[in-house]
A and B are shown apart, each in its own frame.
Chain A
Amino acid sequence: MDILDYAFMQRALIAAALVGITAPAIGTYLVQRRQALMGDGLGHVAMTGVALGFVLQTSPVWMATLVAVVGAVGMELIRARGRTSGDVALAMLFYGGLASGVMIINLGGGQTASLLGSMFGSITTVATEDVTAMAILAAFVLAVAIGLRRQLFAVCQDEEFARVTGLPVRALNLLIAVTAAVTVTVAMRIVGLLLVSAMLVIPVAAAQRLTRSFATTLGLAMAISVTVSLTGTAATYYINVPSGATIVLLAIGVFMVLTALSAPLARRRAKAALAVEEVCTRDDVKV
């Protein structure tokens, strides 16, 4: 395994594992409440943070986290108001974030091209301090997504019911938004800000071709995601391809394979369900 001899590859693989675990962990909740594209918007907003980090010579990961968290809180406030104009407000936020990033980096003496690594992911950009930052952020994401799974499930499944159980729904919604923002910046180095949403959504979509419960969907999505992240990152060592695109295309491949597999599975389940029904009917008649 000469691939592990290089320090940059070690860092890249650790980062890929962190991305793989965290993205679907919070992505499952976003998909559950049909906010699949929230990650995409946050990725756009985070560009401003990357540019600020570049210009101010500070860590782009932390700056991107800060800006994305602010953007996520804004998005949640817009969503909670449920205005019809919400869509337009979100568009302003997303593209304002992207445009500001480009503007800031050019005013700060850089070039738009220096944002490319952050946009599409590049394993060579993973610095040692990035790995540390990513590990801390990933720990936060997992603590929220796994530790509060029952509460977050209830909030995403039926918000009105959750409020009547007395859960602090507004705080939990903000927490989901902030956690999604943090996940976006964890994934920034490996899959890139423009592709990050794919990792929040596609492994979840792939997993639910086979699953019936929320818990297994969450677990299987994380397993799929870690597998494609590590495979995709390792592939970039052997063939000269960018990590983000490789990982996302692999995830889509897994989705298509599982979709093909799910049709016979669904048929078998339907047959089993029908058999159960027949038995019940006969019992009913006897009674």
Chain B
Amino acid sequence: MQSPPRPADDRPVISLRGAKASLGSRPVLRGIDLTVQRGEVVALLGANGSGKSTAVRAVVGQVPLTDGSLSLFGTDFKRFRDWSRIGYVPQRTTAAGGVPATVREVVSSGRLARSRFGLLRKADKEAIEHALALVGMDAHADVSVDALSGGQHQRVLIARALAVEPELLIMDEPMAGVDLANQEVLASALRAQVAAGSTVLLVLHELGPLEPLIDRAVVLRDGCVVHDGPPPEAVGQHALPGHDHVHPHAAHDAEPLRTGLLS
């Protein structure tokens, strides 16, 4: 189902240069550089409020840059129209719609990146079913999304992005509020994507079960890049094998005790 890789193209998939952005009057990104090459899996790490979420939202054009430049697949963002190459997983919205919708209906939205105003063809339906199977939600396709657990809901949002059959997956905190069993499902779905050649940029609170997949970590602090290289080594309790890091992530402003991971 994965779209065949395009002919060799060594331009970076994402290139963010000197990017600045603010929310209201507060500067959130203060000039960051972020480059992601084809086939790389890059994790954006940092404490709450460090700007990591704003950075990925800027990459998909949802936060306007006040300075700096952005290009996707070698195309300046202003001229970029090739949305079917990107699968985006926004932070799980707490507000579900006011009308029930099934898992399949939500996942089908992903196909709009390819079909736009056209009809759903056979290939579209196959891609939707395939995406549902990838995250193990095929048995729940006709269930209302309101009836799902947080982890299942996150799997649905990832399936929606996978239904695009993208070359680049961009995920904002895909593991937030997801229990360990669901994290494993997500990690294996992601592993399959990476094996098939996908490029991935994801915001993480901690590396968790995705650690083996990550090629490079970019750590933000106060809107600046403070580390760009191999994933930081876990220290202390987190370094113990088999450590299950389970703590509530529900409230974003309720910052849990900082672990040694990022400092």
Residues of chain A having any CB pair with chain B under 8 Å: 28, 31-34, 36, 148, 150-151, 153-154, 156-158, 160-167, 204, 208, 211-215, 217, 273
Contact = CB atoms under 8 A, between A and B. Distances in A.
A32 B99 contact: yes
A32 B96 CA distance: 9
B1 interface: no
Contacts of B160: 161
Interface string B103-140: 00110111011001100100000000000000000000
Contact of B88 (A32, A161, A217): A161
B235 to A, nearest CB: 35
Interface string B50-91: 000000010011100000000000000000010110101010
A158 B93 contact: yes
A151 B112 contact: yes
Interface stretch (B28-36, B141-149, B221-229): B141-149
B48 interface: no
Given A151-B117, A153-B101, A212 B83 contact: no
Contacts of A164: 60-62, 83, 86, 88, 90, 113
B95 interface: yes
Contacts of B84: 166
Nearest to A29: B99
A254 to B, nearest CB: 17
A165 B87 CA distance: 8
Given A154-B112, A165-B113, A213 B101 contact: yes
A175 B232 CA distance: 48
A150 B115 CA distance: 10
Interface of B: 57, 60-62, 81, 83-84, 86, 88, 90, 93, 95, 97-102, 105-106, 108-110, 112-113, 116-117, 120, 142-144, 147, 160, 164
A255 to B, nearest CB: 15
Contacts of B143: 212, 273
A153 B109 contact: yes
23 contacts: A36-B98, A151-B117, A153-B101, A153-B105, A156-B97, A157-B97, A157-B109, A158-B109, A160-B57, A163-B62, A164-B83, A165-B110, A165-B164, A166-B116, A167-B112, A167-B116, A208-B100, A211-B100, A212-B143, A212-B144, A213-B144, A217-B99, A217-B100
A212 B112 contact: no
Of A151, A161, A167, A213, chain B has the most CB atoms within 10 Å of the CB of A161
A32 B144 contact: no
Nearest to A165: B113
Nearest to A167: B112
Given A158-B109, A167-B116, A213 B142 contact: yes
A161 B101 CA distance: 16
Contact of A160 (B62, B101, B108): B62
Contact of B102 (A154, A163, A212): A212
Contacts of B88: 161, 164
A7 to B, nearest CB: 38
Given A161-B90, A215-B105, A34 B147 contact: no
B90 A208 contact: no
Given A163-B61, A164-B88, A214-B100, 20 more contacts: A31-B99, A33-B97, A33-B98, A34-B97, A150-B112, A153-B109, A157-B101, A160-B57, A161-B109, A162-B112, A164-B90, A164-B113, A165-B109, A166-B81, A166-B84, A166-B116, A211-B100, A212-B144, A214-B99, A217-B99
8 A-B pairs closest in CB distance: A166-B83, A165-B113, A154-B109, A164-B88, A212-B144, A32-B99, A214-B101, A213-B102
A34 B112 contact: no
B182 to A, nearest CB: 14
Nearest to B161: A161
B88 to A, nearest CB: 4
A106 B203 CA distance: 61
B102 A214 contact: yes
Given A33-B98, A157-B97, A212-B144, A165 B62 contact: no
